[in-house]
């Protein structure tokens, strides 16, 4: 296995996407760093600075869903700053490059771990949000989803109008099972993929981190876009060492040039 770094890597990444029968992408918090949303781990990470949050959000929600909702809606609460950052954020050149790759037929699906809605705002059409989307609420029984603003919050916790189940933020809490519908979609995409572009993720949180391994095990190609080493760097075929907002547009431009559509 030859691993390409630096300038050769951009060309190698573009060529791998063009060669692939079914290329997909997996993105993480690093994609949104250039939109002003800090990552969790690594340099500048929220948890690097403040330590990890409690890992039992799901257990706390089930124990007292009304209290969990009150904390989430508290204008002075800890979630307020995150919500303000999410509301102010806009897609960056990295998001837009993934939309362009999809439009060129070089991405069949983007699996994102991000809950910030930026891929959707950027125009990504084939998108699987494995950790949910902060702008949606979801029924924990039937997985029906609504935009947050469509849900009446005069009575907490809100209940599903389809099945009467409890509604919660679509963002997957720590300890919460990934909703079966989106997990099955992500696993199906990874089983179909012969190439995966992994951008902006430390590749440490499962089951998302299993997706590139699934592609590797079936002798597919792994491309990594990240300014720093990750768990995947040692097994990736192509490593583009740089920020997504710079690297992804260069990969898209190289693909256009190689395909003769520049």
* 28 touches ligand APR by CB under 6 A: yes
Encoded tokens for 142: 């039937």
Active site residue 95: no
Stretch that binds ligand APR, among 31-39, 66-74, 154-162, 233-241 (CB under 6 A): 31-39
**Which of 114, 162, 115, 173 minimizes the C-alpha distance to 139?**
162
Site string for ligand APR, 192-211 (x = CB under 6 A): --------xxx-xx------
Distance (Å, whole) CA 148 – CA 168: 10
Number of residues that bind ligand APR (CB under 6 A): 23
**Site for ligand APR contains 34 (CB under 6 A):** yes
Strands 145-147 and 167-169: unpaired
Strands 109-112 and 23-27: parallel
Q: Which is nearer to ligand APR, 181 or 228 (CB)?
A: 228
Site string for ligand APR, 89-128 (x = CB under 6 A): ------------------------x---------------
Alpha-helix runs per DSSP H in the chain: 6-19, 30-33, 46-50, 57-63, 65-73, 79-88, 93-103, 118-122, 180-192, 210-217, 244-259
Residue 148 is classified by DSSP as: G
Give me the 220-259 binding string for ligand APR, x by CB under 6 A, dash otherwise: ------xxx-x------------xx---------------
* Furthest-apart CA atoms within the chain: distance in Å: 59
Does residue 29 bind ligand APR (CB under 6 A)? yes
Which residues contribute to the site for ligand APR (CB under 6 A)? 28-30, 33-34, 39-42, 45, 113, 131, 200-202, 204-205, 226-228, 230, 243-244
Active site residues: 131
């Amino acid at each position: 296995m030859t691993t390409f770094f630096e300038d050769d890597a951009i060309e190698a990444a573009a060529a791998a996407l063009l060669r692939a029968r079914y290329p997909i992408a997996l993105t993480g918090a690093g994609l949104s760093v250039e939109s002003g949303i800090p990552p969790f781990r690594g340099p500048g990470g929220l948890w690097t600075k403040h330590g990890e949050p409690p890992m039992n959000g799901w257990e706390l929600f089930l124990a007292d869903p009304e209290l969990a909702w009150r904390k989430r809606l508290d204008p002075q609460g800890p979630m307020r700053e995150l919500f303000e950052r999410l509301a102010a954020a806009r897609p960056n050149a990295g998001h837009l490059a993934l939309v362009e790759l999809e439009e060129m037929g070089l991405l069949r699906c983007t699996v994102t771990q991000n809950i910030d809605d930026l891929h959707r705002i950027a125009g990504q059409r084939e998108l699987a949000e494995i950790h949910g989307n902060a702008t949606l609420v979801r029924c924990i029984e039937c997985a029906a989803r609504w935009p947050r603003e469509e849900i009446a919050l005069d009575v907490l916790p809100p209940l599903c109008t389809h099945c009467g189940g409890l509604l919660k933020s679509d963002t997957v809490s720590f300890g919460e099972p990934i909703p079966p519908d989106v997990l099955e979609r992500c696993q199906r995409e990874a089983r179909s993929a012969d190439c995966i572009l992994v951008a902006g993720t430390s590749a440490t949180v499962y089951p998302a981190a299993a997706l590139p391994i699934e592609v590797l095990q079936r002798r597919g190609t792994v491309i990594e876009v990240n300014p720093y080493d990750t768990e995947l760097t040692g097994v990736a075929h192509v490593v583009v060492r740089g920020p997504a907002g710079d690297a992804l547009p260069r990969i898209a431009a190289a693909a256009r040039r190689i395909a003769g559509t520049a």
